Amino acid sequence: MIVATATDLVLCAVDAGSGRARFGPKLSYALPVAELCDLVQGGSVRLDGDHLAPQPGATGDPAAALTELDQARGPLTVPDWVRLRGPHCIDRYLIAAVDAGVVQVVDHNGRKVLRVADAGPIDQVTRRLLTVLDDPEPGFADAAFVLLADIARVARTHLHGRDNRKRRTRLSALRHAAGSGGDGDAVLRTGINAAVRLSRLAGTDPRTIDKQIGLTPDVKAAAPFLGGGAR
């Protein structure tokens, strides 16, 4: 189960024309928060105090992964999930985008780069971002998408120029708005704090960003073309 909000975040990070991808630790650690938000909204997970409680019948990735980790390690908090799931999380969604025919991973002068095969889904995600920022009262799922796109540093690239001035102001207002309460809001706010903190720590890692988040040339080559899975 590749969740919708995380998929949209990855597509939001890809330029529909050039294929340039704004991938990095901030996006990688925002994705597990998006997963949890969708799982809570779908009734697959609830909060039991500070801990995540998978609900009976929840299946698929990441719901199954959450259940397995919960059983293996004991009750998980939101920061636990973000820390465990964040490394290499982009790989899972990039492979799904390749499988869906949205992007291709190609060799260009010895480097693996993205080529956009179908710009439609990417354009649709951009329109979603702008539509949410035009909505005075977005629902939880839309607000979560925008806030996570903001902390992942993939929103602002779509908000340049005078025409988007009001949208930039709206984004700032959403960032500082009081939460609506409930499990979804608690997961979102706690997850954002964890993602910001963990991505800063990843930035001090001596390895390259590609190696931190799993987007090494070998992984890029193996996953789409040789059937390898994400780690």
- pLDDT above 70 covers what percent of the chain? 84
Comparison of pLDDT for 146 and 217, the residue scoring more: 146
Whether the bond between 62 and the residue before it is cis, its omega within 30 degrees of 0, is yes
Residue with tokens 């490394």: 87
pLDDT tens track for 75-131: 999 999 999 999 878 888 988 999 999 998 887 777 777 889 999 999 999 999 999
pLDDT tens track for 16-43: 998 888 888 899 999 999 999 999 999 9
Q: Is the pLDDT of residue 230 over 70?
A: no
Instruction: Establish if 107 belongs to a structural domain.
Output: yes
Residues 6+ apart with CB under 8 A from 125: 8, 11, 12
Tokens of 178: 């009081």
| Distance in angstroms (rounded) separating the CA atoms of residues 72 and 70 | 6
Instruction: Establish if 230 belongs to a structural domain.
Output: no
Cβ-based neighbour number of residue 225 at 10 Å:
13
Q: Which amino acid is at 135?
A: D
Domain total of the chain: 1
Instruction: Establish if 90 belongs to a structural domain.
Output: yes
Average pLDDT along the chain: 85
Instruction: Establish if 77 belongs to a structural domain.
Output: yes
Q: Residue 98 sits in a domain of what CATH number?
A: 1.10.3630.10
